[in-house]
Structure 1
């Protein structure tokens, strides 16, 4: 299995918003931060920031991982939608479901995985590369593979005005 990072790269709160040159911003998601990994041998892992296995509670994401035709480690966030809003409570209701109960919940209210970083792909670690290189590789991967639901590419911008709108 591909090694997962010990800790995710976390956002840092600031008093006032500025976006320095060559920095990027992403929207804040109301979900569960998680690493999603799949290797060439077919092993998959969906692990929370706190190192808990989320695969059994979110079988639709684990199944989507198994279908990927490449090895990968994503950093992202599990989210659930309720009409036009994120529904954090839908995720918390699923945390302790297993087996048939988890499958029914996945069918009734499927989760999505918003990907905001690519840490490993096809045997190549990107973890030490600059964000801009990882982001380009992530966008290329989404486009080349035609990744769609439950995968979602997180928006990213270097434009401070766009980022301010997201904060609004």
Structure 2
């Protein structure tokens, strides 16, 4: 099994040669799943973590459905309430035994498969993507793989109607597109593919900044809930110098009743490191560009891009907490 799967580098625009192929980009955990010739099943994360104990239904399906000597590459996902629930994957990590089995019944996982690296213990990695795709499709013919396995759709980048449809799936958590050269072999750990994330423009309230009010480094954003409380929804990437300079005169020190006073903010998903922040009076609205990766509450899981301040808007004009990337009306 490769130490690391093949990866994708980001694109600001989905522009690639017309011969390339596109696939939907799923919001889940990258996973490599194998059934070895000795019958042993392996379910590994991108970084080599053994996921089989936490996702016993996937290990069981691999043992039952994969023929010996097959290794698949895909995305581990959970559907809930008609959307991809990334946060549910995190809740299942670290579970073992009866706890893991119970969650497998309550919120079962699926694997969206988009590549095959071994068949009958013979590596397919030196073969071009187009050939690997044909082999993979052969595993899903009638009486082949069935749920929890799903074959990832693929289409030519010239099929604009299909690509637009996939990008419209952002409302259920599909993040965008992965773009692949049909002549390229599989290169573990190399960013040989390309990825394009769907982004939306929306608004949020400036609640704090990293750095200082005189030199803001990034912006912590919030939205009002149904009780009028400012709830944290995400953080921007580092501000360009011009944006920081333009923002500075609009920031005012927080009052003593700021609801975020005493709260700690994580420096990133999956880390215990916290940020040093300066609270500001939450009366300034920011327009931001955000991708579609949201948690169950509608908070952005990835940093967003600060576009401009909107002093013409009031916090009450901003979409409410939990609205995700829905833009403000008017």
TM bucket by the smaller chain? Answer: over 0.9
- Give the alignment partner of residue 121 of structure 2, picking from 119, 123, 126: 123
- How far apart are the structure 2 equivalents of 1:93 and 1:111? 12
Q: Secondary structure at the match of 1:54?
A: coil
- Contact 1:19/1:25 (<8 A) preserved: no
Whether the 8 Å contact between 2:32 and 2:45 is mirrored in structure 1 is yes
Aligned length, in residue pairs: 165
Deviation at 1:76, TM superposition (A): 0.4
Between the aligned partners of 1:31 and 1:16, the Cα distance in structure 2 is 22
**Higher RCO structure, 1 or 2 (CA under 8 Å, sep 6+):** 1
Structure 2: distance between partners of 1:29 and 1:60 = 20
Residues 50-59 or 157-166, more deviating: 157-166
User: Aligned residue for 1:114?
Assistant: 112
| Structure 2 unaligned residues grouped into runs of 5+ | 169-330
Where do 5+ consecutive residues of structure 1 fail to align? none
How big is the shift at 1:45? Answer: 0.6
Is 1:28 the counterpart of 2:25 in the alignment?
yes
| Structure with the larger strand share | 2
Please report the TM-score for the alignment, with normalisation by the length of structure 1.
0.93
The equivalent residue for 1:74 is 72
Question: Highest CA radius of gyration, 1 or 2?
Answer: 2
Instruction: Give the secondary structure class of the aligned counterpart of 1:146.
Output: coil
Q: Shift of the alpha carbon at 1:159? A: 3.4
Residues 77, 84 of structure 2: 8 Å contact kept = yes
| Larger helix percent | 1
TM-score of the aligned structures, taking structure 2 as reference length: 0.48
What root-mean-square deviation, in Å, do the aligned CA atoms of Structure 1 and Structure 2 show? 1.3
Query: How many angstroms does 1:110 deviate by?
Result: 0.7
